[in-house]
């Protein structure tokens, strides 16, 4: 049975898109049939997976959701055998208006994903931080939510502010699950851009663990130059430098989620 994971963050620049790209690639490396859907206005998921077997010609997500094309026609293959990609599309900036909560429009994405789900083990969605209607529709379509948390001491949004926004997201997930009888659960919170070099970093990690406890995943992504370098050249780190700490961290994340979601 296919599982849909929304990689979602209410705070920008938490490493959300890098997480979606590298998780999808790592699942593919684990030989899980994976579809990566770009639903972020920055469209960097499409850029960060420059593994396409042909030039980018897909009209993408927006064309599918406006019935100008079929889901299957816009999915692109990659050089990773088990990874396919649905780009955002040229008109994606208007996508939020498609999902206003009227006439059942909010369920459009869920219905289209359900129709395509049989072809994949995992569907990873890079959700936007700035499009509330689309974000809601993604949560309605997802089985699990994966939430990155930026632990970098230089990040301008401090931990208390991030935690406050994550609590609001938790409340939204609970409300949607109860209102629509969903399976939606939190897969976990991923500690991103972790540093081990000073007391301040350790204090941030301990504070996150104390407050979020059971939701914190065992896997942690380091503040890795390899991850940044891979993103700069448009590749998942597991393809760019498979033996790097960053690549190992995302493979650990994929393995952890495979085991956790299978038993939940």
Sign of the torsion angle spanned by Cα atoms 237, 243, 246, 251: positive
Answer whether 23's CB lies under 8 Å from 124's CB: yes
How far, in Å, CA of 145 to CA of 228, rounded?
Answer: 24
Q: What is the pLDDT of residue 198?
A: 53
Q: In percent, how much of the chain has pLDDT > 90?
A: 36
Residue 262: per-residue pLDDT:
82
- Tell me what pLDDT residue 59 has: 75
- According to DSSP, the β-strands at 216-222 and 83-86 are unpaired
Torsion of CA 50, 30, 137, 160, to 10 degrees: -90
In angstroms, how far is the first alpha carbon of the chain from the final one? 13
Contact 71, 22 (CB under 8 A): no
| Overall pTM surpassing 0.85 (yes/no) | yes
pLDDT of the residue at 175:
95
Cα–Cα dist 119/40, whole Å: 23
pLDDT at position 222 is 86
Give the pLDDT score at 100.
Answer: 73
Return the CATH superfamily for domain 3-257. P-loop containing nucleotide triphosphate hydrolases (3.40.50.300)
Low-confidence ranges of the chain (pLDDT < 70): 43-58, 101-105, 156, 195-202, 204, 263-264
pLDDT in tens, 12-43: 888 898 899 999 999 999 999 999 999 887 76
Domain range summary for the chain, segments of one domain joined by +? 3-257
């Amino acid at each position: 049975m296919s599982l849909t994971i929304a990689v979602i963050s209410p705070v920008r620049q938490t490493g959300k898109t890098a997480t979606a790209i590298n998780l999808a690639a790592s699942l593919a490396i684990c030989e899980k049939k994976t579809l990566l859907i770009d639903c972020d206005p920055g469209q960097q998921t499409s850029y960060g997976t420059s593994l396409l077997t042909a030039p980018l010609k897909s009209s993408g997500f927006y064309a599918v959701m406006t019935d100008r094309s079929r889901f299957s026609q816009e999915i692109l293959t990659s050089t990773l055998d088990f990874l396919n990609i649905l780009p955002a599309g040229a008109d994606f900036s208007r996508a939020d208006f498609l999902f206003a909560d009227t006439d059942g429009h909010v369920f459009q994405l869920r219905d289209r994903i359900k129709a395509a789900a049989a072809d994949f083990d995992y569907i990873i969605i890079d959700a936007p931080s700035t499009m509330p209607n689309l974000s809601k529709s993604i949560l309605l379509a997802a089985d699990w939510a994966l939430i990155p948390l930026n632990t970098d001491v230089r990040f301008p949004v401090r931990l208390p502010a991030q935690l406050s926004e994550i609590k609001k997201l938790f409340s939204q997930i609970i409300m949607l699950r109860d209102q629509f009888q969903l399976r939606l659960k939190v897969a976990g919170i991923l500690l991103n851009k972790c540093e081990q070099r000073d007391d301040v970093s350790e204090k941030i990690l301990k504070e996150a663990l104390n407050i979020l406890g059971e939701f914190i995943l065992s896997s942690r992504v380091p503040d890795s130059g390899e991850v940044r370098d891979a993103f700069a050249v448009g590749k998942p780190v597991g393809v760019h430098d498979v033996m790097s700490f960053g690549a190992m961290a995302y493979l650990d994340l994929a393995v952890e989620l495979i085991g956790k979601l299978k038993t939940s």
